[in-house]
Amino acid sequence: MNKKNQPLYFIIAVFLAIVITAFNDEPNGDDDFVVYKANPQNTNIQLYWKDDKGQLLKSLQALKNFTEKRGDKLLFAMNAGMYKTDHAALGLFIQDGKIISPINSATGKGNFYLQPNGIFYITTNNLAGICCTGDFIHYNNIRYATQSGPMLLIKGKINAAFKEGSSNLNIRNGVGITPNKDLLFVMSKQPINLYDFAAFFKNAGCTDALYLDGFVSRTYLPEKK
């Protein structure tokens, strides 16, 4: 998909966005990554796809306007999944407890199909989880979920499909979870391969991590400009 530069906002070429609107933890990072840490127990984390009128939210600016019209202050947003040509979710997407798109267990080419892929989810009790797609059990308490791929970390180990020193470099973003269930949202500022991107999550103490998107990765984080 072509990316188009607009004067007022960045296009996010994915079907949904992770949105954090209250009680944020302090953002952190370094020269090579944008990093945002959040505790789902005291942070309002949501997944968005369309506005209340059914219109696609295609830009961070549109997302910001939409959330603020509802009385929320947008602190952080990140594209969080992959989509088909009609902008429907390529894999599982649950919003407010409703299954918008089912799990995709098909095989194919591209990062989404690089196995194992996985699911990031938030429960009605504000507990977060990241797991391989084959391990996901859809209980009735899932409030939000997005399927993407590949998994970066699986129980503390880097995905065996990745090659150390790979020349497959790209801007990338993803989400990881720590042993105490904090979430780490990360976007690389420079092109990076999947192995090194996964290693960043491992070195940051994450047990599991999921790749969300590639060269179209976008992050809204005013505190980090």
What single-letter amino acid sits at 120? F
| Cβ(149)–Cβ(90) below 8 Å | no
Helix H or strand E encompassing 210: strand 208-213
Query: What are the structural domain ranges in the chain?
Result: 17-224
Tokens of 178: 């720590």
pLDDT at 9: 26
d(CA 78, CA 149): 16
d(CA 130, CA 155): 10
Q: pTM of the prediction? A: 0.87
Over residues 20-73, the pLDDT tens digits come to 665 545 555 568 999 999 999 988 899 988 989 999 888 888 889 998 898 888
pLDDT at 2: 37
